[in-house]
Amino acid sequence: MILVTGAAGFIGYHVAQALLARGDVVLGIDNLNDYYDPALKHARLAQFDGRAFIFERCDLADREAMLALFARHRIEAVVHLAAQAGVRYSLTHPHVYAETNVAGFLNLLEALRAHPVRHAVYASTSSVYGANEKQPFSVSDRVDRPVSLYAATKRANELMAHVYALQFELPLTGLRFFTVYGPWGRPDMAAFKFTRAILADEPIDVYNFGDMKRDFTYVADAAAAVLAVLDRLPLPDGSLQHRIFNVGNHRPEPLARFIEVLAAAIGRRPRMNLLPMQPGDVKETYADIGELQREYGWSPTTDIETGLASFVGWYRTHYRV
């Protein structure tokens, strides 16, 4: 049995489906909070085949509940994707990030300490690179200058994982995801917000006056990276069992081109509301994925033309527009 935390979330849903497709039994947990419309989370859960998928509503911040979960189930491996996401939300709701991303991660690590598994893979983020100007971002780059509390909490996760791997020999691997998008995506992310606005003939908010680039990563590629890493320990026995890898498309796309491709897939011309840079945001992200390619044979396969067409197709079907 493989535990997927945040199974009702965007990446969690796709990872759980990929695990089920290859024959694994999946225990999914989620607290189903209202950061965005819980109806979308329930709709994701409704897609699962209940025979091999077990769902329990559980909050990472509940220490006793997490320990009881591990005591109740025979968990062999963990994919930890539950987190309070969003850079801008962290400006107004800081305590949620401390409770979920820091205390919640600590509760998971303690549960793993009490009930060891063969491997635990956890989600980090490209946001840990902060305003790094060196391109592309490498896992060997400095990550001690975050520009948002969200990024700080995810960097804290990486440091906590390092300590638990060192002190308790827990096998842990962190994945720094770069701007994941695709079907069943989050409503607070660009593809979703832009699509909703364009279809409603409303202007889209474009920050830094459009002068931005993002390493957009299609969700199926991200899920494939998780499975590839999950199946093999980070380092040979006897070594520190903690590694970190970038998961990106290795191709920063100008935001203007992203909007152009998205609008073409929708079939409508967008209206843009050009705005200055938001606090906590960065101008450009670009993933160096060389280590993941060399060590796991993983590479992204989906360009934004294919990925955005897939997202728009799902959006129109799901929302009947």
Domains and CATH numbers, the chain: 2-181+217-250+288-301 (3.40.50.720)
Residue 235 has pLDDT above 70, yes or no: no
How many C-beta atoms lie closer than 10 Å to residue 51's C-beta?
Answer: 8
Listing DSSP states for 270-305 in one string gives --EEE-PPPTT--SB--B--HHHHHHH-------HH
Token look-up 């044979």 returns: 297
Residue 237 has pLDDT above 60, yes or no: no
Residue 238 has pLDDT above 60, yes or no: no
pLDDT at 143: 93
pLDDT tens digits, one per residue of 243-291: 999 999 999 999 999 999 999 999 999 998 888 888 777 888 999 999 9
pLDDT tens digits, one per residue of 98-120: 999 999 999 999 999 999 999 99
CA–CA separation, 15 and 219 (whole Å): 9
- Contact residues for 196 (Cβ-Cβ < 8 A; gap 6+): 187, 315
Is residue 181 helix, strand or coil?
strand
In total, the chain counts a number of residues equal to 321
CA–CA separation, 103 and 160 (whole Å): 11
Give CA separation, 130 vs 188, 291, 295, 305, in Å. Answer: 20, 21, 26, 28
pLDDT at 207: 86
With a pLDDT cut of 70, the percent of the chain lying above it is 98
CA–CA separation, 137 and 70 (whole Å): 36
Residue 180 has pLDDT above 90, yes or no: yes
* Amino acid found at 106: L
Least confident of 11-15, 54-58, 203-207: 203-207
Q: Tell me which of 150, 164, 181, 286 is the catalytic residue.
A: 150
pTM: 0.94
Is 150 one of the catalytic residues?
yes
Q: Which of 315, 87, 75, 68 is nearest to 197 (CA)?
A: 315
Residue 236 has pLDDT above 70, yes or no: no
pLDDT tens digits, one per residue of 40-73: 999 999 999 777 999 999 999 999 999 999 999 9
pLDDT tens digits, one per residue of 183-192: 999 999 999 9
